[in-house]
Amino acid sequence: MKGKAIAFSGIDGVGKTLYSKILAYHIMRKGLRVRTVWVKSLHTLAYILYVFLKKIGVSEQIVNPNNLVVEHFSNPVIRRLGRIWVFIEVLSITPWLVIISVYRLLGYTVVLDRYLYDFLVVVGIRIARPLWFAKSIIGRVLYSYSAKTKTIVLDAPLKTVLERRRNVEYTLSELLAQKALYKVLARMSKAPIVLTNKTVEKTVEEVLRIVDLTHD
């Protein structure tokens, strides 16, 4: 029997990794086989090219909202490449999409710590074209593909996020743009949004209600 895929998406600092691990634990307690997979951007080929650009002196640092100087994980070359960089990023995540499908065919429940919503949002920030996916065939295909997966969008007030991730690698405007984009994607796909600025126990209860493991 084909396994399910359950994805956690949202800006850095909302708790995707934490709740992915907790959900995987609850799934294992049900006696089901589970795998946790991380899918975002700067995978494999894109990461290698990014590191190469950095080694030849093409890199960028910013002052984040916590007034810390951090690596930006974008640069003028990436922004200039635009659609070409998107293509490189898509090639880089494709093997992971295949791996996820194989796990599911083998009967594993796959918990995704970041997935295609995160890819669409972060790539848009990286190339400085936040709505690229709405104007691109590849972007629309990836969105349609992601809609087949149960996705939970995690959110928290910006103040909470910045306390959790002091070294966040985005500017204030980029973080605000990401929060808005996640809400748009959630609204488009009717994905639930879970606020994580309450206790972990209460957040877990809400996540488990949404996932509903009782029917597995």
Superfamily of domain 5-41+96-215: P-loop containing nucleotide triphosphate hydrolases (3.40.50.300)
Average pLDDT over residues 32-53: 92
User: Residue 214: pLDDT band by 50, 70, 90 thresholds?
Assistant: low
CB-count exposure of residue 116 (10 Å: 0-12, 13-18, 19+) = buried
Average pLDDT, the chain: 94
Domain boundaries, the chain: 5-41+96-215
- For 15, the token pair is 């708790």
- For 99, the token pair is 């791996």
pLDDT digits (tens, 9 = 90+) for 66-77: 999 999 999 999
